[in-house]
Amino acid sequence: MNEHTSHLVGLMISGVVVTLCVILHYEALRFLSRTVGVHMHKRIGVLIVMLGLLVAHVLEIVIFALGYMLMQHDANMGRIIGLDEASLFDFIYYSSVVYTTVGFGDLLPVGAIRMLSAAEGLAGLAMITWSASFTFLAMQRLWPHLLSSSGKDSKD
């Protein structure tokens, strides 16, 4: 596969992975919005929102990690320099660094696999922002006393 074809296939793989993650995130938010507040204590609701969102983010990171594994091992579309063992956990580490846009710099993608890294950075930023907005709205609904000036409701 020549370089241009490899990058085009990398973009298509990136599109599929990002789409899967957006659908997963949407469904997680939909599930949490229906579940939280239904016959449960407000504190428990906030905890479920936070834990549910963390689980969704971890699953999305794993999906991206599987995409890296596919591109590096199966499709030979580049590699991540610094991943000596290249186990699933190494790819999960790399994926989490890219997803959160931390970018320690200890690992470097080369070749078409860079397309997935670029897509993950953008998608991760969007998903984290989406989660933050959802959490704010859930807390507005579950802890309305936090927004009032009186703050007298201390039971929650």
Tens of pLDDT, residue by residue over 59-108, are: 999 999 999 999 998 878 999 999 877 899 999 999 999 999 998 889 99
For the cut 60, the answer to whether the pLDDT of residue 116 exceeds it is: yes
SS3 call for 79: strand
* pLDDT band at residue 56 under the 50/70/90 scheme: very high
Burial grade of 63 (CB within 10 A; 0-12, 13-18, 19 or more): middle
Query: How do residues 37-51 score in pLDDT, each as one tens digit?
Result: 666 677 788 889 999
Q: Residue 30 burial by CB count (10 A; 0-12/13-18/19+): exposed, middle or buried?
A: exposed
Report the distance separating Cα 77 and Cα 113, nearest Å. 6
**Alpha carbons 140 and 30: distance in angstroms, whole number:** 17
Q: Is residue 28 scored above 60 in pLDDT?
A: yes
Q: Which of 20, 18, 8, 13 is nearest to 98 (CA)?
A: 18
Phi, psi of 106 (to 5 degrees): -80, -15
Domains located in the chain, CATH noted: 3-142 (1.10.287.70)
